[in-house]
Amino acid sequence: MALMVAALVARTAESLANIPERLSEPAVERPYPLPAIETAGDLTLEKLDAAWLEHRIKPGESFFKAMRAMGFEPDTVQSVMGSGKLARSLLDLKPGQVLRARAPGGELEALDFEIDLLNRLEVRRDENGYSAELHTRPTDTKVSQAAGVVTSSLYLSAQQAGLSDKAILELAEMFGWDIDFTQDLQPGDRFAVVYNQVTLDGEKIRDGDILAAQFINRGKTYQAVRYTDPNGKVTVYKPDGRSMRKSFTRNPLPVTRITSRFNPSRLHPIFKTVRPHKGVDYGAATGTPVQVTGDGKVAFAGRQGGYGNVIIVDHGRGTRTLYGHLSRFARSLRQGQSVSQGQVIGYVGATGWATGPHLHYEFQINGQQRDPLTVALPNAQLPDAYTRHFRGQTAPWVAMLNAMTTNQVAQTEATPRQ
Ligand SMILES: [Zn+2]
């Protein structure tokens, strides 16, 4: 025991010598103040017994090594690891993380592991050895705002406005249906964002979700709000309740090569007569997954004459889409089943009247085929039942967006032209 205490004194003195340096490192914040020990000379056994030893993990250091460096015996390390599932987090130490231990009389009584700013593992000695508990500190969210003008790139301008990478990505995603961020942006485009900041004791620790955003691209204004419905489902809408996303995607294949367009007076490749082509053919290898273009219900999945293996999906309001010449259907696909936009329903093939593997795709409104490449695709809509709830939730954010825009314009006008 005496040896153990001596080791602890030595370690403590060593760790004391490091304290000023440690305090200047911002990487780890202490969840609670360290007990005050002024100088090594003041160290008495009683004070030592009450003191917490602190050890910062070095690159490549294991829990075992770290505990040995703090002066603990392999048996002790074993018992801590045996305290249950939670102790497994100790096997995944990262450099800079902090272990703190209290060992009155040289026996480990308490071990705290600062996993991150929010989570601390507390291991305590009990009659059976050790037990571990995870303590998570509660965070708050604060509604914040940011705005900027695109100069050289959206990324740089948004970063300057204080947005994190995550928020910038989310912003681009929100307007992805309307603006092609790789091609459409130009200097002078403006953005404004209302977003949540996650805070701990009033300090920001990370960005939360974007609540509302505005993008002015080439003079045209786009706005979007994030709406959480009473069931907790999150959808991005325009402030008037129209969805940002179209209710249909244009193409049923991710990479498209159109081999035959919609053409009411086409010469048929097999029959060599004028036969209207009432869909679009996409050339693709046999087995290429076919994605349904909108939410709906499978109205038919089976074999049908020239179409070969075909799937017809009913989207409601008189709209159907058709997928022909499939080599096979998705395994679980059944008639009457609900499918959602982007879901794989079948695979490209050459069944029916086909000269080679391709997908024949039709878009029908009230039984009439329309050109899938030009037909106006409707936006998905907010269900009527949620209108009031939607307005109550999103109107304050839209008001913030509009106020920011007014400020931006006022600032620009106040700047003398050069
Ligand atoms: Zn065709």
If you measure from the C-alpha of residue 278 to the centroid of ligand 1, how many angstroms do you get, rounded to a whole number? 7
One of 3.90.226.10, 3.10.450.350, 3.90.105.10, 3.30.1330.10 is the CATH number of 144-246, namely 3.10.450.350
What DSSP character marks residue 373? T
If you measure from the C-alpha of residue 310 to the centroid of ligand 1, how many angstroms do you get, rounded to a whole number? 12
If you measure from the C-alpha of residue 340 to the centroid of ligand 1, how many angstroms do you get, rounded to a whole number? 24
261 or 20, higher pLDDT: 261
Secondary structure E strands in 255-367:
258-260, 280-283, 289-291, 296-304, 308-314, 319-326, 328-329, 338-339, 344-347, 358-365
Q: What is the pLDDT of residues 173-214, one digit of tens each?
A: 888 878 878 778 899 999 999 999 999 888 888 889 999 999
If you measure from the C-alpha of residue 361 to the centroid of ligand 1, how many angstroms do you get, rounded to a whole number? 7
* Other beta carbons within 10 Å of 10: 11
If you measure from the C-alpha of residue 353 to the centroid of ligand 1, how many angstroms do you get, rounded to a whole number? 9
Tell me, yes or no, if the pTM score tops 0.85. no
If you measure from the C-alpha of residue 40 to the centroid of ligand 1, how many angstroms do you get, rounded to a whole number? 86
Helix (H) or strand (E) holding 131: strand 129-136
User: Identity (one letter) of the amino acid at 137?
Assistant: R
| Residue limits of CATH 2.70.70.10 in the chain | 258-377
Please list, in sequence order, all residues whose beta carbon lies within 8 angstroms of the beta carbon of residue 200, skipping any fewer than 6 positions away: 117, 118, 137, 139, 140
CB 154 within 8 A of CB 360: no
CB 236 within 8 A of CB 380: no
Region of 114 please: left (phi>0), alpha (psi -120 to 50) or beta. beta
If you measure from the C-alpha of residue 283 to the centroid of ligand 1, how many angstroms do you get, rounded to a whole number? 10
One of 3.40.50.300, 2.70.70.10, 1.10.150.120, 2.60.40.2140 is the CATH number of 258-377, namely 2.70.70.10
What DSSP character marks residue 263? B
CA–CA separation, 315 and 59 (whole Å): 56
pLDDT of residue 27: 37
Q: Provide the pLDDT confidence category of residue 416 given band limits of 50, 70 and 90.
A: very low
Please list, in sequence order, all residues whose beta carbon lies within 8 angstroms of the beta carbon of residue 191, skipping any fewer than 6 positions away: 147, 148, 150, 154, 157, 158, 161, 171, 213, 214, 215, 216
If you measure from the C-alpha of residue 343 to the centroid of ligand 1, how many angstroms do you get, rounded to a whole number? 22
Of 100, 156, 143, 104, which Cα lies nearest the Cα of 123?
100
If you measure from the C-alpha of residue 197 to the centroid of ligand 1, how many angstroms do you get, rounded to a whole number? 51
Average pLDDT for 351-361: 94
- Is the CA virtual torsion 62, 67, 71, 73 positive or negative? negative
Fold of 2-136: Nuclear Transport Factor 2; Chain: A, (3.10.450)
If you measure from the C-alpha of residue 305 to the centroid of ligand 1, how many angstroms do you get, rounded to a whole number? 13
User: Identity (one letter) of the amino acid at 336?
Assistant: G
| Residue limits of CATH 3.10.450.350 in the chain | 2-136, 144-246
Q: What is the pLDDT of residues 84-136, one digit of tens each?
A: 888 888 988 999 999 999 988 788 999 999 888 889 999 999 988 899 999 99
How many residues comprise the chain?
418
If you measure from the C-alpha of residue 279 to the centroid of ligand 1, how many angstroms do you get, rounded to a whole number? 6
| 161, pLDDT greater than 80 | yes
If you measure from the C-alpha of residue 316 to the centroid of ligand 1, how many angstroms do you get, rounded to a whole number? 24
| 143, pLDDT greater than 90 | yes
If you measure from the C-alpha of residue 77 to the centroid of ligand 1, how many angstroms do you get, rounded to a whole number? 69
Scanning the structure block, which residue is given the tokens 């249950």? 84
